[in-house]
Amino acid sequence: MNVATLVPSAAVTRKRGWLAGWSRAGKLGLAVLAFWIAVAMFAPFLSDQALGEMSEGGVFQAMSAQHWLGTDYLGRDMLIRIVAGTPYTIGVAFIATLLACGAGALLGLLAAVTGGWVDSTLSRVLDTLVSIPSKMFALVVIAGFGSSVTLLIAVAAIVYTPGCFRIIRSLAVNINAMDYVLVARARGERRGYIMRREVLPNILGPLLADMGLRFVYALRLLASLSFLGLGVQPPMADWGSLVRENLGALPTGGVSVLAPALAIAALTIAVNLVIDNLPGHTDADRETR
Amino acid sequence: MNFTIVKLIAGRILAGLVSLLAVSAVVFAITAVLPGDAAEERLGQDATPDAVKALRHEMGLDRSPVLRYFDWLRGIAGGNLGKSVVTGMPVGEAIASRLPNSLLLAAVTTAFAVPLALGLGILCALWRGSAFDRFTSMTAVAVVSVPEFLVATLAVLVFAVQLKWLPALSYEVELSSPGAMLRSFALPVLSLGSVIIAQMMRMTRAAVIDQLAAAYIEMVRLKGASAARAVLFHALPNAIGPIANAVALSLSYLLGGVIIIEVIFNYPGIAKLMVDGVVQRDMPLVQACAMIFCAGYLILVMLADVCGIVANPRLRHQ
């Protein structure tokens, strides 16, 4: 018997292509997500001139061949404004999510693998943070320090660390009880090795799904703050600030307030579709479990 | 009601009080200790050191943060919330004039959202997998995944701008007649309610479906009862605990949503007051509002836990 027949699974799934396990809704979500990521990558190449240019046609124009998504409250092209806002919308939320899930996963693994007083102390401290509603925490911090992009990232990261910690800890506690972890301990492996090599690979799937969920939360929180005028500050603008700036177009049913709002909806719903349709979760009624 | 339950609930309430104390310490640290010297900030850069020192003494900033924290805590417990830095008015008065408005909004939203959400959730569980269920569930996912201001903006666009049924952004809340009240409340309640309805509906549906998987439901079906009877008379009573829990938890989302809704509709409530306070960096006001919100949130979460304890026989015998 040659080796290939003994280890078929990985090789076979590779060959089937990485899209094979995705349902139609999942693929749609992936496509929309990929589109926005591409837009975010492209945005920094916009020239300053294109960004500041005011249209002669006036403010709050409707859709036209010249301005596909109309113009904003200063007569700037809405499409360019949205594209320019993409990195602030996606980037800030993404960095915050990475930090939150990185810290949450690290602490969660540490708590589960170490146990004892480390576990109970970490759980207590992070539970305290959970008892402040996320928007309230953000408002209090912004009242104290004033708003900046760095602060927004920090706030979102702090707000979403406890949630990730809880999930990772509960998953890791189960893995930690497995025989192979016991064997690794008996072998005399260090704590870091057990966390990294024995436990982490087994909870990677749920960790990624959780990251997607936290990303949506972070995006919502940051967009809401920008909408209140407390998030990303002018001249920078994310989609939340674009909705706020152009609220004046609402009575005329303007596209300039609708477009950024729909951009947010498209992105968050796409991420939701992706995490709800991750391959390997075939049960249609997963909500019940 | 046996002794174990009472002990569990008492423990839960005690834990809630401890959390509230911890939250107050966090709020105080973020607003009053970490940002640096408030006296220096108020006087600007070219203040003389003597002036700064005098103001610092007047504001009590020359004492240790721990002492200041306990003074502040004693003030809050005694109802003395300090004076607004911006208007000089007592914070307590400002809050007292706004809080009833917010509570009214929350009450109307709750009265509207809870029955609707429970009904939808139960129907979805009853007709699981049907077109109705899939449509409702998809809408719910869409509503919970977008920010609240988006729902509100769309509601204004549809009902006020396109259909012209309601005033766009009500600048004054009219409570004189039922008709006027309905008109000024309709959009805020609709936008605030939709997020909560979506949350609550999903949890209700999950709780009922969870019960439907149990063996006793199979037994009920085997003896010939209809699906409606199995759901309404057998699954639902057993799902009351999780549903009550879901209702309380969903209502705690009110606290986050109300911030956005009050601002977008210019509703004179406490959340609008707080956002204005944040913009003007009016610390005593922000501290007081934050504590009110956190207390409300903790009470609802505590209520959710207590519902879970009372309804779950397994917890009773732990």
Q: Which of residues 110-129 of B touch A (CB under 8 A)?
A: 128-129
Contacts A225 to B, Cβ<8 Å: none
In the beta sheet, which residues pair with residue A71?
A: A77
The gap between the terminal CA atoms of chain A, to the nearest Å, is 41
Tell me if B109 sits within 8 A of B95, measured CB to CB.
Answer: no
Please tell me the distance from the alpha carbon of residue B182 to that of residue A266, in angstroms, as a whole number: 32
Report mean pLDDT in 10-residue bins for chain A, 289 residues.
Answer: 49 58 83 90 76 68 72 77 87 93 93 89 84 87 87 92 91 88 89 88 87 90 90 83 82 78 89 80 40
Q: What's at B107, amino acid-wise?
A: A
Given an 8 Å threshold on Cβ–Cβ distance, is B150 in contact with A143?
A: no
Q: Is-cis flag, bond preceding A235, omega within 30? A: yes
Q: What's at B188, amino acid-wise?
A: P
B278 touches chain A (CB under 8 A): yes
Contacts A162 to B, Cβ<8 Å: none
Dihedral pair phi/psi, residue A232, rounded to 5°: -60, 130
Please tell me the distance from the alpha carbon of residue B273 to that of residue B92, in angstroms, as a whole number: 12
**Structure confidence by residue, pLDDT tens digits, B76-130:** 887 777 777 777 788 888 888 888 888 888 888 999 899 999 999 988 988 888 8
Residue B272's closest CA among B171, B150, B156, B159?
B171
Residue B98's closest CA among B173, B192, B164, B181?
B173
- CB neighbours of residue A279 within 10 Å: 14
B171 to chain A, minimum CA–CA distance in Å?
14
From the list A128, A140, A265, the residue facing B150 with the nearest CB is A265
B161 to chain A, minimum CA–CA distance in Å?
6
CA dihedral A192, A194, A198, A203 (to 10 degrees): -60
Nearest CA in chain B to A144: B31
SS3 B229: helix
- CB neighbours of residue B3 within 10 Å: 7
> Token pair for residue A35?
């589109």
Q: What is the mean pLDDT of residues B180-204?
A: 84
B263 touches chain A (CB under 8 A): yes
Task: State the pLDDT at residue A101.
Answer: 93
B5 to chain A, minimum CA–CA distance in Å?
23
**Structure confidence by residue, pLDDT tens digits, B171-191:** 555 566 666 677 778 888 888
The interface pTM score, or ipTM, of the predicted complex is: 0.82
Task: State the pLDDT at residue B169.
Answer: 58
From the list B35, B149, B290, the residue facing A136 with the nearest CB is B290
Tell me if A175 sits within 8 A of A203, measured CB to CB.
Answer: yes
